[in-house]
A and B are shown apart, each in its own frame.
Chain A
Amino acid sequence: MGQITLQGVQKSFGPVHIIKGADLEIADGSFVVFVGPSGCGKTTLLRLIAGLEDVTGGAILIDGRNVVDVPPAKRGLSMVFQSYALYPHMSVRGNIAFGLKMAGIAKDEINRKVEAAAATLNLTPYLDRKPRELSGGQRQRVAIGRAIVREPKAFLFDEPLSNLDAALRVQMRLEVTRLQKQLGTTAIYVTHDQVEAMTMADKIVVLNGGKIEQYGSPLELYEKPNNLFVAGFIGSPKMNFVTGELAKQQGATTIGVRPEHLKVERNGQGGWHGTVSVAEHLGSDTFLYVDAGPLGMLTARYVGELDLHPGDKVSLIPDPARIHRFDDSGKSIRA
């Protein structure tokens, strides 16, 4: 079991409020990703759940029990750190076994569990090596091994993939997701990378300035963002925002259209007119940065190759069903 509930959790360092009251319900076995820009408090929130920081106010319930006064080790959670935080003078076996050893578990049981964890993570050949003799991906796996061997109620991941190169990151992303599904253990994962968030999460928590902006499944966030911040943060390239007369016609202060929902037509009629200022040809996609005069710069995504060059005139036709409308305060207006 690993059901985690946050009730009005607050954290301040002196006069600075990092977390301004977070309420959250994390179901047992789900994979929840905290995502947000740097300094939004996502890592702090994770550390509060872990017990590495004390809450200033509110309650954290794990399986219904308030744990704010419980030391980290007794909360039954395990954490994978950004730097992996492996113990450099211990072998891989020693690293994975350390938590069990501290819990005073019998030697042969420790060995059995360590070997089972190592087998799950393909670490068996490296059990007697020191962390410095391992590659980045292997170190990452040792850190995960150290987390799973304790059979925790939940895993906490603090940007664990940010030190890996791009190819390895994609591979580890899959491995972590698969492992979590296989073990069925609740996981909380912190990242600033919205692609990681979208691909791994069952549910995403978007944080900004110490507040939870939205909590929902990846597609919910993509299709029905609560506000301008979530709309701009989720999706790549970013959503286009248009204000002024055009928005007023739709009964909104700001309207937003994702680049993939803009139809590109060469010298077409209707829609929004502009001049291509940069065209990025990726083969699979073409990204167009279009100077649309009073509307500002707009980004459009065309699936496939489109033979357009800077200076070409285009018109962009938004998909009327996919226009997001926002009011004065940035909140989304739902029809």
Chain B
Amino acid sequence: MATQQTQLLARTLLTPAVALLFIWMIVPLALTIYFATLHYNLLDPGSESFVGLENFRYFLTDPAFLASLQNTLVLVGSVLAITIILGVPLALLLDQQVVGLSIVRLMVIAPFFVMPTVSALVWKNLLMHPVSGLFAWIAHLFGLPAIDWFNDAPLFSVILIISWQWLPFATLILLTALQSLDEEQKEAAEMDGASAISTFIYITLPHLARPITVVILIETIFLLTVFAEIFVTTGGGPGLQTTNIAFLIYSQALIQYDVGSASAGGLVAVVLANIVAFFLVRIVGRNLEA
């Protein structure tokens, strides 16, 4: 395979795909960088002028930026914690031999296939609604006042919805990992006198270290850019309580019509995502090395 001819052929054949991908990436990036240096407001067309790094200064010193950064980190961290802490026992349960298991598995996985907008609407109007929601009805059964979820605990509500969506993903990855755990290892532990809990701590959990890493990495990538759930349920509010970086950029661009500032925000988000990725890989990435 490694003759000069095949190498040349491989490069020639790869070139169109690589070139297309490159253009696909570089054009939006270049335009974003270009817009970030302009005073560019859609309400004031024709007045575009070069302002240097003014948009970055404006975006970074905006009090909304720090608030939304904090919300982003809290949201990512909470959803990761909930999906893994609940995903492990769920995967353990689904790994058991029970009648009707395939149906149960299907139902557990189902939330992942519901599109974010729809699931957010279902949660908002059918479950968490303070008047007509299921949770309010349950609260009334016990004689308790209904909770107005999106006013009293807005960020927590959003976290709940997103965790519900991502729990199946974590469960599924962990389940496949559990199924690849060598049966003889569990038997060896049994012969060694390990109880069910010891087997879990010393055999199963270390075996799950790698899939948990995979779940953390993949979920982080997607959770940093959560948008639809916030847009549909709270619109970033009340105040800034559920505004994350992605939503802040959206509101700069399409609520305040400030394209320049939004572009600067987008570039800041790229840098932040890279910082998070860097630390993630440093902390958990070594689990991926064979």
Q: Which residues in A have some Cβ–Cβ distance to B below 8 Å?
A: 50, 52, 71-74, 77-79, 81-83, 85-90, 98-99, 102-103, 132, 146, 150
Alpha-carbon separation in the docked complex, A50 to B207 (Å):
25
Considering only residues 204-260 of chain B, those with a C-beta below 8 Å from chain A are: 206-207, 209
B190 at the interface (CB under 8 A from A): yes
In this assembly, does B189 line the interface, its C-beta being within 8 Å of a C-beta of chain A?
yes
- Measured in the bound complex, the distance between the Cα atoms of B237 and A138 in whole Å is 62
Please name all residues of chain A whose beta carbon is closer than 8 Å to the beta carbon of B191 when the two chains form the complex: 50, 52, 72-73, 77-79, 99
Complex contact A99–B202 (CB within 8 A) = no
Closest to B184 in A: A85
State in angstroms the CA–CA spacing of A114 and B272 once bound together.
49
Please, what's the 1-or-0 string for B173-193, where 1 marks a CB less than 8 Å from any CB in chain A?
A: 000000000101101111111
10 tightest A-B CB contacts, nearest first: A73-B193, A99-B192, A85-B184, A85-B188, A89-B206, A102-B193, A81-B184, A85-B185, A102-B194, A79-B191
CB proximity of A299 to chain B, nearest CB, Å: 38
Interface presence of B284 (CB below 8 A): no
User: A73–B190 contact, CB under 8 A?
Assistant: yes
Interface size, B (range)? 10 to 19
Give the residue among B191, B198, B203, B206 with the most A Cβ atoms within 10 A. B191
* Nearest CB on A from B29, distance (A): 41
In whole angstroms, how far apart are the Cα atoms of A86 and B188 in the complex?
8
A81 to B191, CA, bound (A): 11
A73-B192, A73-B193, A103-B193 known; A98+B202 contact, CB < 8 A:
yes
Residue of B nearest to A80 (CB): B188
CB < 8 Å neighbour of B184 from A74, A82, A88: A82
A52 contact from B185, B187, B198, Cβ within 8 A: B187
Given A81-B184, A82-B184, A102-B198, are A87 and B190 also a contact pair (CB < 8 Å)?
no
In the bound complex, residues from chain B placing their C-beta under 8 Å from that of A87 are: 185, 188-189, 202-203, 206
CB-defined contacts of A88 to chain B, threshold 8 Å: 207
Is the beta-carbon distance between B188 and A79 smaller than 8 angstroms?
yes
A-B contacts, 14 listed (Cβ < 8 Å): A52-B190, A73-B192, A73-B194, A83-B184, A85-B187, A86-B185, A90-B206, A98-B202, A99-B191, A102-B192, A102-B193, A102-B198, A132-B290, A146-B188
Residues of A with C-beta under 8 A to B185: 85-87
* Bound-complex Cα distance A179 to B207 (A): 32
Query: What is the CA–CA distance of A90 and B185 in the complex, to the nearest angstrom?
Result: 12
What's the nearest-Cβ distance from chain B to residue A10, in Å?
Answer: 21
Known: A89-B207, A102-B198. A81 touches B193 (CB 8 A): no
Q: Which residue of B lies closest to A158 (CB)?
A: B184
Closest to A77 in B: B191
Return chain B residues, CB-CB under 8 Å to A99. 191-193
CA distance A98 to B185 in the complex (A): 12
CA distance A335 to B190 in the complex (A): 50
A78–B192 alpha-carbon span in the complex (Å): 8
Contact B188 A81 (CB under 8 A): yes
With a cutoff of 8 Å between Cβ atoms, the chain B residues found around residue A71 in the complex are 190
What is the CA–CA distance of A150 and B131 in the complex, to the nearest angstrom?
Answer: 65
A142 to chain B minimum Cβ distance, whole angstroms, is: 11
Q: Quick one: closest B residue to A103, CB to CB?
A: B193
Complex-state Cα separation, A85 to B185, whole angstroms: 5
